[in-house]
Amino acid sequence: MSAAGVKNRAAVLFAVLVLAVTAACTGGDGSSPSSTSSSPRTSGSADVLAVKIDNVAPARPHTGLEQADVVYVEQVEAGLSRILAVYSSDLPPVIGPVRSARETDLELLRQFDRPTLAFSGAQSRLLPVIDRAPLDPVPPSKAPQAYFRGPDRPAPHNLYLRPERIPFTASGVNAVAELGLKVGAPPPGGEPEDSRTVRYPSASVTFTWAADGEQWLVSLDGSPARTAEGERIGAGTVVVQDVDVRESDFRDRSGNNTPFTETVGSGDAVVLRDGRAYDARWSRSSADADTVFSTPDGRRVDLADGPLWILYAPRG
């Protein structure tokens, strides 16, 4: 579907949701050779909005996820997964469902130049840590007019964001520019790949290559991921990044420990693009550095057209 079609359908959904809302929410939960070492993060030209998005079955289908430049998937409590969607080139009228932030997000987002973070809330001990982080936090308590509860599902899976009502303007530049990445030719080699599944203790994400649409179709926990209008969600490039996941100092309301995903370091990765899988390495020397993805012989990996999905897969 064309970009115009996506925007029109999103606009229609937005109008329907707004009419049904009774009150705003006031709270809530050719590539060139390159070194494999991380380089300092450059001050990019993309102004970034990151939105923490629910990813359990009652929260689907998602709204506005298909317009994200970058989609991160990370492990949270009870072995489930949660999404951090990054926007810069364009903004949908509605994004959600929005959920709470995690400590992992703070280190992850250091790759961007003072991003805006939209989230429903956080564990009370984490809130001051968020306030001290080099980002602009915008929870419902700071922008109640920007959030609303939709009528289509029960709380807490029904909190939505109207991004035009927060102090943020899309730059028109793809957020991957802030990561030091760019669209380019695929690296040499690779193996044909029809499907790849990334598993978490209680969740999974599957990518299936659709040659006719030149994209990886996304499935969440075995079910096709769809937009609010029923269209399939796809990715141009998928990066599966093997990382260490450890316990943090934070717990959820049920007492479950919140895992912390270590995004600084190095390790193996797999890059999926153009119907092929490429072995790669990732390296990030510090929180202020970009994550570099390179082939085994040191060539920097470029991206295919389309959204970038990065999955933090627990090291086996």
pLDDT value at residue 42? 45
| Percentage with pLDDT > 70 across the chain | 85
* pLDDT higher than 90, residue 262: yes
pLDDT tens digits, residue range 163-212?
A: 999 999 999 999 999 999 999 999 999 999 999 999 999 999 999 999 99
Residue type, 158: N
User: Length of the chain in residues, anyone?
Assistant: 316
Please tell me whether the overall predicted TM-score, pTM, comes out greater than 0.75 for this model: yes
Q: In the 3-class helix/strand/coil scheme, how is 100-136 assigned residue by residue?
A: CCCHHHHHHHHHCCCCEEECCCCCCCCHHHHHHCCCE
Average pLDDT over residues 210-217: 95
pLDDT value at residue 247? 86
pLDDT value at residue 16? 37
pLDDT tens digits, residue range 94-113?
A: 999 999 999 999 999 999 99
Q: Which residue has the tokens 């840590």?
A: 129
* pLDDT higher than 70, residue 130: yes
pLDDT value at residue 193? 97
